[in-house]
Amino acid sequence: MPETILPAGTMAPDFTLSATPDQTLSLSELRGRPVILAFYPADWSPVCGDQMALYNEVLPAFKDAGATLLGISVDSVWCHQAFAQDRHLRFNLLADFEPKGEVARRYGAYDAQHGMTRRALFVIDKEGAIAWSYLSPTAVNPGADGILDALDKLQAQSSGKAG
């Protein structure tokens, strides 16, 4: 299993995944604003539940930075729907379900040995390039500090260009 995920400076591979049983979302639809991709192993695992609950709490700060948060795992849209309702999540969970883990593989975030997504974070800038990426150990909640720092840097860069 490769230990590396796509690094900063790489163009983020576009994808289209199911957000609900009858709606899809493409990364390219969000071009022009920062996007946070939070790949995680499984909806109902304790660490993933804590991680997604934390992001739900930090969502206003992500939105203040103009960013859209997307959670991605290999679970089905039905599983995501039940999990999001149970946890009162206010952001999209995308199903990298079939072909299983195809998008995670393109980002270097698929664990083929265990058949699940690795815990990886990406902040993508307005132009579609990866500004920051981080691979966390599966059993560790990576928190939100790295994401917030990356968003702060993007905001500083864009205000520096404007001034």
Catalytic residues: 48
φ/ψ of 120, rounded to 5, equals -130, 145
Residue 22 CA to residue 115 CA, distance in Å, equals: 25
For residue 16, the cross-strand partners are: 26
Distance CA 63, CA 75 (A): 25
Distance between alpha carbon 39 and the CA centroid of its chain, in Å? 5
